[in-house]
Structure 1
Amino acid sequence: MEKRWIRKPAPDPTQVRHLADTLRINEAIISLLCQRGVCSFEEARAYFRPSLDELPDPMLMRDMDRAVSRLERALHSGEKVLVFGDYDVDGTTSVALVYAYLCPFFGAERIDYYIPDRYQEGYGVSEAGIEYAVEHGFQLIIALDCGVKAVEKVVYANERGVDFIICDHHLPGEEIPAAVAVLDPKRADCPYPDKNLSGCGVGFKLMQAFSQSQGFDEEPLHNLLDLLVVSIAADIVPIFGENRILAYHGLRLLNDQSRPMRPGLDALHELAGLHNGTLNISSLVFGFAPRINAAGRMGDAKRSVAMLLAATKEDAIQKAGVVDKTNTERRGFDTSITKEALQMIEDSIALRNASSTVLFKQDWHKGVVGIVASRCIDKYYRPTIILTESNGKATGSARSVIGFDVHEAIGECADLLDQYGGHMYAAGLTMPVENVPAFQERFERIVAGRIRPEQLIPPVEIDGVLHLSEVTNSFYRVLCQMEPFGPGNPNPVFESGSVYAVPDSVRVVGNSHLKLVVTQDGRHTVDAIGFGLADYYEPIAKGFPFSMCYTVDMNEYRGVKSLQLRLKDIRL
């Protein structure tokens, strides 16, 4: 697939020189820092050494005082608390964090957790969850990663004598639920300075405020940051500001060899085969998140929470094994449905030439439609919605491309929908089955009229130009100190031109991947691998010069570590 190379503007040379005089490190690194708004020694210190002391005051969040007061009342008056969360990674880690923190104060007999069934109850606060609270004597529900649009459900809960504290990070609707407290930095009336927290992050802020109000030592709360960083990674929230601080310290916990890893996460660590190397955001996204998500996609997400809360390694391994088996089952559905969806596009001239993809099939598994939408974007880079039938309705997930607000586009079809919600790049929706053709037609018209041609070509953002002689072990060590990488602080991508392959070094591995040794001047050589770039084998093997963009990585093979370039794209 053709890619669009976007070279980021060079930073102000004066700022680069000033920071270089202060830090005295590689100028390419200095340029990266200035590009990311790190232009002084103080900013560099905060960037390289994020401190929990720099976290914003949780009481700045709208309704936090009311939330803390209600939680204190529950604690001191003997009430029971139900921790309610969404069935995805953000929701289940939120529930695990809040439950684990509050359980020692309330006691196991006064606190429990509840995850709605994806298929029977659907997304968010459910009537069944409220009934469960009533039947089991819970007077307070803490809703995590959901609830900001649950206006009717909160009214129903109030009528049943159950109070709500909502901790959400999704965009609110026109009406805020009549809960005791609605904590959501995206509320228009919320002055909280960081609007990019995950749902688990909002739950953490409630626990932080509660801890401070009670005068508790915050170390037990900070020891739960390993759960929070998993939510930050999986929910693809920007990793700058508060999220960067939280992710940095969460990863430090996970990689701390002097203390045992949380049993549930340790079991995931083993199942994902991540024994070698340091855990980072990428390994959480691809190793931990799919397994945690699988339980909710394929059945009961409470299994993921139970795994995360497991007290012993033996118990965690048993529970993680069930979750991993579920993930294997999920992969089977994912593969077969993706193949079917791509074939539907291939077989239709109209779909091949469209600006969007909206596919519907009654028997597709609801739990994997979001993954299938992402897979389709890998092949046809455009806003994509995959729908299936569930409980007599067409329901599904949307994914988008860089710069296009799919949530907004879906909103312009609201009269055809029963409900929808989500973010700029990911959303969920439900509609009557008979409305699917009209929705497909209107959504395509909206996208085609609004999306720019260049948005239909996947971009590769390039931070700067490097000569291969600059790619050294010391350069890589400093680069690693810029982690955690993710949205808002991406792994730097570099460009090198007029390079060529060392003779006889080029080969194809795994059918579609290009492996080679590159050089720029005949003296400095670096190993490189390009996933999915095997189509370039012939010209490169013949010695044609080319330009490449890449990230710098460390490869380990049979105990030997060596620098390796991960090629993002090649231009002959």
Structure 2
Amino acid sequence: MKIAAIATIADSVPLHGENRVIASLGLNALRSTVNPGLKALLELAHLDGRPLTSEEVAFRIAPRINAAGRMDIAADVIDLFTLKDPTRAREVAARLDKLNGDRQEEERRIVDAIEKRITEDSALRDSFCMVIDGEGWHRGVIGITATRVVERYGRPAIVISRDGEEAHGSGRSISVFHLLNALESCPTLFTRYGGHAHAVGFSLPSSRVAEFRASVEAYARARLKVDDFEPVLNVDAELALDSITPELFAALQKLEPFGAGNHEPVFCARAARLSAPMKILKEKHVRMKLSPSQANGGNAGWRRALTYNSMGWRLAERAQREKLLPGDLLDIAFNLGHNDHPEFGGIELSLRDFKSLEKASAHGTT
């Protein structure tokens, strides 16, 4: 049940019916893991001894498991779950952790190269379907780098790794653009291809990459508008920061597990005040301390004095570009989470987006 729950969440299977039951029972059972390999993996990720959330499985367990297939061979995962010797299991778990670190470093290297290319190439920057190729990029990582490009630019993106005369590509798309149909508009270019509306993979001769780029760009321009590239974040409810309580958080936990088909509620709060200098973590994340608005609605009294820690995953560059300072007011979109750190744990906001009220040029929709 535990392994089935991890697989269900990692594969983004819709959490309906029996899938939801499998995920829920498996997540709760993970607090008492006896399999040596799984136990070692949870210990290494600092997730042992308690029930897990679907988010923790998706972002802290699944990447370590997937790293074997992306960076090396998947046999290590089979070994991990079949070994009976705890010492050997810890060794394999450590190897998977290192492979995941290697994957992150390779992803960072490719993303940096892509960012440089986009900055220098105005035609690429203005394309309706971004096709970026590079020599020797790791094939196991190009899919996730395509995802990063889509997240940043809001456009379909295809990343191609050239290896001599052969090239391999992986693409990700936005909701309004069927990426597989785009490939099927030029099928003779490929030696093989497949996928679905939002993700594709393919191989083709390196000599035909330029032809492919022109073909898919023409296809995209015939079907997309500039407005399609504007990111939209759907918000479930407005929630003033001084209305957040432990009781509300406990009620939301009853809706777990979250994932495909059962999304985590997204809230918005208006005019939240940045109450301390923001902190940049690992060059890509930002931590902020936010307090309730003193001007708009909400509860009176002591709850107005509360300050909430918030984490903006991959929002550091935007926050730095906005030059946010203590006292600035932000409209924010967020999920409610919990930090288990013994010193500064408690309810924590996971920022999905923000808009500075002092700077009308803020990017994104809340």
Give me the TM-score of the superposition, normalised by structure 1.
0.56
Distance in 2 (CA, whole Å) between partners of 1:391 and 1:296 is 23
Q: 1:145-160 residue pairs with structure 2 within 5 A?
A: none
Instruction: Indicate the residue corresponding to 2:308 in structure 1.
Output: 527
Q: Distance in 2 between matches of 1:262 and 1:463?
A: 39
Q: Secondary structure at the match of 2:214?
A: helix
Equivalent of residue 137 in structure 2, options 336, 358, 364:
364
* Pairwise CA distance, 1:479: 0.3
Deviation at 1:514, TM superposition (A): 4.3
Q: Which residue of 1 aligns with 2:347?
A: 563
Larger Rg: 1
- Which residue type is aligned with residue 252 of structure 1? N
RMSD: 2.4
The reply to whether residue 292 of structure 1 matches residue 34 of structure 2 is no
Residue in structure 2 matched with residue 393 of structure 1 by the alignment: 166
Partner of 1:57: none
Q: CA deviation at 1:375?
A: 2.2
Query: What displacement does 1:381 show?
Result: 2.1
Q: Is the 8 A contact 1:341 1:359 kept in 2?
A: yes
Q: What pairs with 1:31-430 in structure 2 (closer than 5 Å)?
A: 225-255=1-31, 257=32, 260-275=33-48, 278-390=51-163, 392-430=165-203
Would you say the 8 A contact 1:229–1:250 is kept in 2?
Answer: yes
TM-aligned CA distance change 1:452 to 1:311, over 3 Å: farther
Return the letter of the residue paired with 1:243: N
Q: CA deviation at 1:464?
A: 0.8
Report the Cα distance in structure 2 between the residues aligned to 1:303 and 1:356, rounded to whole angstroms. 36
CA distance in 2, matches of 1:477, 1:405: 39
Distance 2:125 2:56 in 1: 34
The total of aligned residue pairs comes to 342
User: Are 1:356 and 1:444, in contact at CA under 8 Å, matched by a contact in 2?
Assistant: yes
Structure 2 CA distance for partners of 1:323 and 1:546, relative to 1, 3 Å:
closer
Q: Percent of aligned positions with the same letter in both sequences?
A: 29
Instruction: Give the C-alpha shift of residue 560 in structure 1.
Output: 5.4
SS in 2 for 1:484: coil
Shift of 1:390: 4.5
Deviation track 1:463-495 (CA, whole Å, cap 9, x = no partner) reads 011233331001100101101111221111111
Deviation of the 1:544 alpha carbon:
4.5
C-alpha contact 1:508 1:534 (8 A) present in aligned 2: no
Q: Give the letter aligned to residue 519 of structure 1.
A: P
Contact 1:229-1:247 within 8 A present in 2 as well:
yes
Q: Distance in 2 between matches of 1:233 and 1:276?
A: 20
Contact 1:383 1:398 in 2 (8 A): yes
* Residue of structure 2 equivalent to 1:546: 330
Deviation at 1:452, TM superposition (A): 4.0
Offset of residue 565 of structure 1:
1.8
Distance in 2 separating the partners of 1:418 and 1:537: 46
Aligned-pair distance for 1:277? 5.7
SS for the counterpart of 2:29 is helix
Local SS of the residue matching 2:202: strand
Q: Distance in 1 between matches of 2:51 and 2:230?
A: 33
Partners of 1:285 and 1:393 in 2: CA distance: 33
Instruction: Write the distance in 2 (CA, Å) between the matches of 1:365 and 1:537.
Output: 34
Evaluate the alpha carbon distance shift between residue 493 and residue 253 of structure 1 in structure 2; reply closer, same or farther with a 3 A threshold: same
Q: Secondary structure at the match of 2:252?
A: helix
- Give distance in 1, aligned partners of 2:35 and 2:242: 42
What is aligned with 2:261?
Answer: 488
Kept after mapping to 2: 8 A contact 1:526/1:565:
no
Q: Which residue of 2 aligns with 1:507?
A: 278
Matches of 2:122 and 2:172 in 1, distance apart? 22
State whether residues 30 and 50 of structure 2, in contact with CA within 8 Å, keep that contact through their aligned partners in structure 1.
Answer: no
Flag the 1:562–1:325 CA change in 2: closer, same or farther, 3 A: closer
- Given that 2:164 and 2:206 are in contact with CA atoms closer than 8 Å, whether structure 1 keeps it comes out as no
Cα deviation for residue 293 of structure 1 reads 1.6
Which residue number in structure 1 is paired with residue 360 of structure 2? none
Q: Alpha-carbon deviation of 1:547?
A: 2.1
- Aligned mates of 1:361, 1:482 — CA distance in 2: 43
Q: CA deviation at 1:536?
A: 7.9
Residues 402-445 of structure 1: CA deviation (Å, up to 9, x unaligned): 34322222222212112111232222111122221111111111
